[in-house]
Structure 1
Amino acid sequence: MPMHDDYCDVLLVDDSADTIALLTQELSGAGLKVHAVRSGPEALRHLDRHAPGAILLDVQMPGMDGFETCSQIRARFDDMPVVFMTGLGETEHIVRGFEVGGNDYVTKPVAPPEVIARLQAHTRTARLVRATREAVNAADVAMLATDGERLLWSNEAARILLRELSGEAPAGLQLTEGSVLAAPLQEILVLRQNQDECLIPLTGGKLRARRVSEADQAVGIVALSRGDAAPAGNGWNPPQLTAREGEVLLWVSRGKTNRDIADILGMSPRTVNKHLEHIFEKLGVETRTAAAAAARNLQLA
């Protein structure tokens, strides 16, 4: 099976043997690994044993339909991509699919190239989201991640800092994951587009917010610090790594080999090595050990 950056394994859930046969052939031919089941309960049992990269789910199935199946999947997995298959023009199905936690939909009769493209796109996004969550949670400095409107995650250091700077009105600045950022923190969102850093006046002092991810990424990572402290790094600006390079560097900093990283991120070891070449060049280092040290410095900058 070919390995590439868009590799993913897919759980296909459909009660139609013909649909399963067609999609299994097409998806497998494009390098995707396919597990097929014919009902919602079978899908849930499969998920007890293996978590795929994405799920392709039929809406209309006897017994447990696709909506109920998706609801139960979402109760187990917050960020697993679910793509519905629905009949052409069934608007109410599309709306309900999003309401129960679906990420996307395709209409029947399905066009395999479209299905493949959507599955690959959602798998890439899910990988980025998971890597971002791990990076944010592992950092020693205050960090949070947003999708441009809502708070995705924050670490304990960020929550402590916000409590310290909230003064007498901490309730308005609580970092509740999944909620829209509080009004004083809305300025953080402009970091996604046209500036690297901003100072936000709060009751207990100024909050310095600095973007540490690329401006155009779907998930933006922001480092927080006290605004009355001198910016860390003595004026040094950390290099802008791509999302994929950031993922590779994260696992390098955790001591993983190229083969391990390839398995984790679903790419070939050669592709991992190519990303490392770019990382070394941007960080100005020559070894994995130096890159890992630079990764820790980036977190502390």
Structure 2
Amino acid sequence: MSALQGLDRSTSELVLIVDDVPDNLSVLHDALDESGYTVLVATGGEAALQRATQALPDIVLLDAMMPGMDGFEVAKRLKAQPQTAHIPIIFMTGLTETEHLVAALEAGGVDYVTKPIKPKEVLARMGVHMQGARMARQTRNALDAFGYASITVRAQDGKLMWQTPLARELLTQYFGSASHTPPEVADWLLRHLPLAQRQVEPPRLAIERGARRLTFRLHQQTGDDDDWLIVMREASDGAVIEAMSLSFKLTAREAEVLYWVVKGKINRDIADIVGASPATVKKHMERIFAKLGVETRTAAAGMALSRIRLLNPQFEL
């Protein structure tokens, strides 16, 4: 574990200060440290990106004008990465012309302070923006503690703004990438946004990969932005298939076929899923009927579903 990953985040909030002038860093570091913040510093753009990605600070104080990569480019890159896009950025600038201040906000800044830096002003501005970030973090931490993965998506363009490590892992497994919002999820959010805006929970989205299922639930809007927190949860029905096999004395393949019958699939669909021919699936069905003592798919599905719900009350079709 790196020193950055080992930082204690339980008792104080983490601030990243980015400035190429040592005196500016020193003044701000001392003021923030005395106010109870944990402080990281970077003197250039590349170092800032590295520290922000590793430590995920609660807020970034970013110098606009630096040699090499300037603050505007740093902000754009942070906002382009799902793991850092949610972090509030306050620009520190000696440029007071309107076009420079507009550029700071367009690059992703939520606010700016002008140089020479006044620590009290910086602390006051930070307080405003930290409150929303603090509430969002507490919500995400609570969800993580109960085993839920979560992502934040901007509704207007479907951009993936933030994700937990578990969410990143699941998105990669189900969709092959965690760098953007899956089209199915973006479409689902956009389609049901009117319900969510009326505080009516929309129907959940379910993505199936064999016996694994990933569900998406719209949790809440975050802050005043157009960002929505979506909770993901994976359910693997491999245990259900194994339990059916034991309960009804079925082979593993017969139990898998019966599982998909319960899910409403026809023989041709089941054949595609399990990698067999429709004729083979039909033979499996004949043996399932004999073992369950039934004559129809409906009866077999009803008996299996009753047994499944005894074993797993949260099972969803």
Identify which of structures 1 and 2 has the higher relative contact order when contacts are C-alpha pairs closer than 8 Å and 6+ apart. 1
Rg: which structure is higher?
2
TM-score (norm 2): 0.45
